[in-house]
């Protein structure tokens, strides 16, 4: 059976080796790239990369630009590594379609746990369609249709919508959403959710009204009867 491929992009060879050693022990095939240009070449040549771990600060092409290039053609999960813990950087990463955000220095074991959690969700058994109020979620194809028209969602937006729909009518706190969509070990600001909800509502058009704000608490997905 072919091993799951993970692309690790960092200009520091010691960092690449550290991440590779821990992931390889878990049975993953790790491919290394020292900058964004090399990473893009590898990603589009191989076309079976399951996940990308991407450093921000790199020569030739930084992590932000690399993410933009990949996101034009693929929704592959991306974990961003950064030496900064600036909230603006974190929000920019999520705007660009980053799925997880890990600040250096980090625990390699925590990074591996996040990798495994993301891959479980993307590769797990989810072969059914969910349909509600003109919204169709195809879990196998990781595709969403609104009134029969495909809409372009990032990986995290897809996960968020799926979580809302499967909990229709349930009041969901921001903490609960973070725990279930971003994983229990995500240490970011709950306002990340608000940013994603705003974008998700916009992409859903009139169906975005199904995502109700519960002031002071969180959100609830509710369709008109």
Query: What φ, ψ does residue 58 adopt, rounded to 5°?
Result: -145, 155
Q: CB-based contacts of 210: which residues, under 8 Å, 6+ apart? A: 133, 135, 164, 204, 221, 222, 223
- Going by C-alpha positions, the residue among 7, 132, 155 that lies closest to residue 76 is 155
Comparing 49 with 101, the larger pLDDT belongs to 49
Q: What is the pLDDT of residue 87?
A: 65
Token readout for 49 is 């990369």
* Domains, the chain, ordered by start: 5-123 (3.40.50.2300), 129-221 (1.10.10.10)
Percent of the chain having pLDDT more than 70? 89
Report the Cα–Cα distance between both ends of the chain, in Å, rounded.
Answer: 48
- Size (the chain), residues: 225
Q: Quote the pTM value.
A: 0.60
**Calpha distance 119→116 (Å, rounded):** 5
Query: Which stretch of 41-45, 93-97, 220-224 has the lowest confidence by average pLDDT?
Result: 93-97
Measured CA to CA in angstroms, residue 176 lies from 22, 91, 109, 126 at distances of: 30, 20, 24, 22
**Calpha distance 78→211 (Å, rounded):** 26
Q: What is the pLDDT of residue 126?
A: 47
**To the nearest whole number, what is the mean pLDDT of the chain?**
85
**Calpha distance 47→96 (Å, rounded):** 20
Convert the pLDDT of each residue in 117-127 to its tens digit: 888 776 654 44
Biggest CA–CA distance in the chain, Å, is: 57
Query: What φ, ψ does residue 32 adopt, rounded to 5°?
Result: -105, 150
């Amino acid at each position: 059976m072919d091993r799951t491929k993970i692309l690790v992009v960092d200009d520091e060879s010691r960092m690449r080796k550290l991440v590779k050693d821990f992931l390889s022990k878990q049975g993953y095939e790790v491919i290394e790239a020292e900058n964004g240009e090399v990473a893009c070449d590898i990603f589009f040549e191989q076309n079976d990369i399951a996940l990308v771990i991407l450093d921000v600060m790199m020569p030739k092409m930084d992590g932000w630009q690399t993410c933009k290039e990949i996101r034009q053609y693929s929704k592959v999960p991306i974990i961003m590594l950064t030496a900064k813990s600036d909230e603006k950087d974190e929000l920019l990463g999520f705007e660009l379609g980053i799925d997880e955000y890990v600040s250096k220095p980090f625990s390699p074991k925590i990074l591996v746990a996040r990798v495994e959690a993301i891959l479980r969700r993307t590769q797990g058994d989810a072969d059914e369609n969910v349909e509600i109020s003109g919204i169709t979620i195809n879990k196998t194809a990781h595709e969403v249709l609104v009134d029969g028209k495909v809409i372009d969602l990032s990986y995290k937006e897809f996960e968020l919508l799926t979580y809302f729909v499967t909990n229709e009518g349930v009041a969901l706190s921001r903490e609960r959403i973070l725990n279930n969509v971003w994983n229990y070990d995500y240490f970011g600001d709950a306002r990340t959710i608000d940013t994603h909800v705003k974008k998700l509502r916009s992409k859903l058009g009139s169906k975005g009204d199904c995502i109700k704000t519960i002031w002071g608490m969180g959100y609830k997905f509710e369709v008109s009867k």
